[in-house]
A and B are shown apart, each in its own frame.
Chain A
Amino acid sequence: MSNTSLLPLLSSSERQFILQGVASGVRSDGRGRLDARDIILETGLLPQANGSARVIIGNTDILVGIKADLGLPSQQNPDQGRIHCNVECTATVTNAVDSRDADSDAETLGHVITRIFVNSGCIDLKKLCLIPGSVCWNFYIDAMILGFDGNAADAIAQAVRAAFSDLRIPRVVIDTGSTPPTVEIDEDLRRAFCPVDVAALPLSMTMWKVGMSFLVDPTPAEEACASGALLVAATATGRVCLVQTLAGGAAQYSESAQATALPVPRGESTGAQAGAPPVAVVSAGGMNPHSIVDMLSTATEIAQSVARKQDEALRRVAEASTRSHGAGKSAHFVDQSVGFFADSFAATSGN
């Protein structure tokens, strides 16, 4: 189960309280089962990274930086660029727990992010290859969990998608005349561009099974009560890119048999692109197959709407930054102003 090391220990009465609340449709913070918390988004925080974003959901606080450099393509795919995803917990989050447990949880989340953004085929890796077999772009996506208050996977996916919208890489000039061909980087950052179609990137929505019903965007206490979780990644157009269980109950429920029989909501094609690998249900620990189908369609719908909302927010960020020349880019899904700089103080001193 993901984030095991970060979850609180609950007494049986606390557990009972949460389970009964969820069963009657009211959660301990007053939300309904399918109500997500407000999301706060900031982009362009790290000038030394090629793209960066911070997402805050409750007290869950995720900072993502994307760095790009030129490197060697892999031997298996010499005509493709490479994307490396890495998630880590900061000491502020793990201070109470064994850091090795937290590291392995972070690694699991890193794999999930790789599957959502890289393995889903939503990013055209061939466009990131400059000279097949010798030079390609390497993207390093590093997510830092600065605060944990439930729902880390979805928050990281949000932050990574926003960081991609902020991503700028320099243009390169490829001299094919010389042998071997050489690559020259255009240092003029005004000509830098975003190589990724952000609108086509998916967002994830995880459905957590608590008691007999499922809910989205859990708090740590609700995560601790969950008997299973299904992560669904979908694009704004409703294409499903990944379905994976995060939290597993006791049993690994028949894997491949369910995967082939799984209907895709509203007859839309699976996989982000034609020819992309089909959706794989990794495992369905302890969940009824019927509830999985339910969860899948609901999650897809929510992921779709959140992706659209984020696109709109990112558009607002872009507009604001062109007006203010990039100073303090930030936009919020809600009218609420929180950020590193919200009550910051600026001073220069010259004596």
Chain B
Amino acid sequence: MFASREFVSPEGLRLDGRRVNELRRLRVRSGPLTDADGSSYLELGNTRVLVAVYGPREVSSAKAARQTTQSSDRATVCCQFSMATFSGGERRRKIKGDRRTMSHASALEKAFSSTIAIDKIPPRSQIDIFVEVLQSDGGMLVACINATTLALIDAGIEIRDYLCASSSALLNDITVIDPNQNEEQSFGGSPTATVAVLPVTGGVVYLDVDTRLHIDRLEELVNQATTGALTIHTLLEKVVRDRTQSTVSTTSAQQNA
């Protein structure tokens, strides 16, 4: 097995040159797809995802119809998650509805059901979130959550707050933030915490720690991931502000002309 110093050098640098508390480069674009009501494209290092949002619209899927009959006073959030065949290191055949895909989809559904201001959305309607992972290099769910938040804002669907996610991993004794695939899978799967928070209103919407971990280490791990999520919030907010500002200035320029 590797020693921890192979992942973090004595100088405190990781294999990809980052410090332990440094996120990977985040690049985003909102509205890359013209057909969708809202869409976004996000790169977190080498992890790349594309999200399209439709709705609120009439209930069309069987699953949403079932939920609508159960609770007719609210809207339903439906998520479809899929990974491109070329997304991983090895090419993998696309299997519809495999366990990992389903669990990611339901995690996103639950997280965004409590983020979207569901009481302001017309009841008995459906919001569809389509997530396509173009490339995965660790932090897949993190990238998906952040991208979906942007796509929802692009679609103009009212949300209670930004939902921002980040992750952290424990490599032997050192907590690193935003691990890549290599770090996530070190030591046969190092303890990784994925946290999604509502930064302004406060509150953790999604928390996921896999692999056995001593309880004393949990707090630090979750705190680090939360710090990462808050950083991502400032970055996303800047993107949204800039985009809104440019939209407003072009609209007012058109009106003046």
The reply to whether A90 and B130 form a contact with Cβ atoms under 8 Å apart is yes
Q: How far is the CA of A49 from the CA of B137 in the complex (A)?
A: 12
**B22 and A348 form a contact (CB under 8 A):** yes
Cβ < 8 Å to A, chain B residues 148-188: none
Grouping DSSP codes into helix (H, G, I), strand (E, B) and loop, the B interface class, with mixed when no group exceeds half, is mixed
User: When the two chains form their complex, are residues A341 and B27 in contact, meaning their CB atoms are under 8 A apart?
Assistant: yes
Contact B90 A69 (CB under 8 A): yes
Query: Nearest chain B CB to A97's CB is how many angstroms away?
Result: 10
Q: For the complex, give the distance between the alpha carbons of A88 and B33 in Å.
A: 17
A92 touches B227 (CB 8 A): no
Closest Cβ neighbor of B19 among chain A residues: A350
**A91 contacts the other chain (CB 8 A):** yes
**A92, B91: Cβ atoms closer than 8 Å:** no
- Residues in B with CB closer than 8 Å to A65 are 84-86
**Total residue contacts A-B, CB cutoff 8 A:** 114
Known: A61-B33, A67-B86, A340-B29. A349 touches B23 (CB 8 A): yes
Residues of B within 8 A of A52 (CB): 86
Whether the Cβ atoms of B29 and A48 lie closer than 8 Å is no
Inter-chain contact A147/B82, CB cutoff 8 Å: no
- Contact assessment for A341 and B29 in the assembled complex, using a CB-CB cutoff below 8 Å: yes
Contact present for B85 and A86 (CB under 8 Å)? yes
Q: Which residue of B lies closest to A99 (CB)?
A: B96
Rounded to whole Å, the gap between the CB of A152 and the closest CB of chain B is 14
Contacts of A347 in B (CB 8 A): 25-26, 235, 238
Closest to B21 in A: A351
B123 CB–A CB distance under 8 Å: no
Measured CA separation A349–B238 after assembly (Å): 13
Per a CB cutoff under 8 Å, which of B22, B34, B36, B128 touches A349? B22
Bound-complex Cα distance A347 to B84 (A): 26
A side interface size, CB within 8 A? 38
A66: chain B residues within 8 A (beta carbon): 86
Among B9-29, those with CB < 8 Å from A are 18-19, 21-29
Q: In the complex, A344 Cα to B25 Cα: how many Å?
A: 12
Contacts of B242 in A (CB 8 A): 345
Say if the beta carbon of B106 comes within 8 Å of chain A: no
Which of A10-18, A73-81, A118-126, A138-146 is the contact stretch? Answer: A138-146
Q: How many of chain B's residues have a CB under 8 angstroms from any CB in A?
A: 46
Please, which residue of chain A has its CB at the minimum distance from the CB of B84? A144
Q: Is A210 an interface residue (CB 8 A)?
A: no
Partner of B132, one of A47, A67, A92, A348: A92
Is A46 interfacial (CB 8 A cutoff)? yes
B132 near A91: Cβ-Cβ < 8 Å: yes
Does B231 contact A349, Cβ atoms closer than 8 Å?
A: yes
B134 an interface residue at 8 Å Cβ cutoff? yes
Q: Does B35 touch A at the CB level, under 8 Å?
A: yes
Q: A140-B91, A346-B25 are in contact. Are A91 and B231 (CB under 8 A)?
A: no
Are the C-beta atoms of B135 and A48 separated by less than 8 Å? yes
Whether B54 sits at the interface, judged by CB under 8 Å, is yes
- Measured in the bound complex, the distance between the Cα atoms of B83 and A48 in whole Å is 14
From the candidates A90, A341, A349, name the one contacting B82 in the complex (CB within 8 A). Answer: A90
Nearest B-chain residue to A92, judged by Cβ: B52
Complex Cα spacing A90 to B24, Å: 27
Cβ proximity bits A248-264 to B, threshold 8 Å, 1 near / 0 not = 00000000000000000
A329-350 toward B: CB 8 Å interface, digit per residue (1/0)?
0000000000011111111111
CB neighbours (8 Å) of A46 from chain B are 48, 86, 134-135
CB-CB contacts below 8 Å: A21-49 with B? 46-49
With A142-B86, A344-B27, A345-B239: A351-B231 Cβ-Cβ less than 8 Å: yes
Q: With A and B bound together, what is the CA distance between A70 and B39 in angstroms?
A: 37
B binding-site residues for A, Cβ under 8 Å: 18-19, 21-29, 32-36, 39, 41, 46, 48, 50, 52, 54, 80, 82, 84-91, 94, 128, 130, 132, 134-135, 137, 227, 231, 235, 238-239, 242
- Apart from A147-B33, A147-B34: 6 A-B pairs, beta carbons within 8 A: A48-B46, A86-B85, A90-B82, A148-B35, A345-B28, A349-B26
A residues adjacent to B (C-beta < 8 A): 46-49, 52, 59, 61, 63, 65-67, 69, 86, 88, 90-93, 95, 140, 142, 144, 146-149, 340-351
- Between A and B, 29 residue pairs with Cβ closer than 8 Å are A47-B46, A48-B46, A48-B88, A65-B84, A65-B85, A66-B86, A69-B91, A90-B130, A91-B130, A92-B33, A92-B52, A93-B35, A95-B128, A95-B130, A140-B85, A140-B91, A142-B84, A146-B50, A148-B35, A340-B32, A340-B41, A341-B29, A342-B29, A345-B28, A345-B29, A345-B242, A346-B25, A348-B26, A350-B21
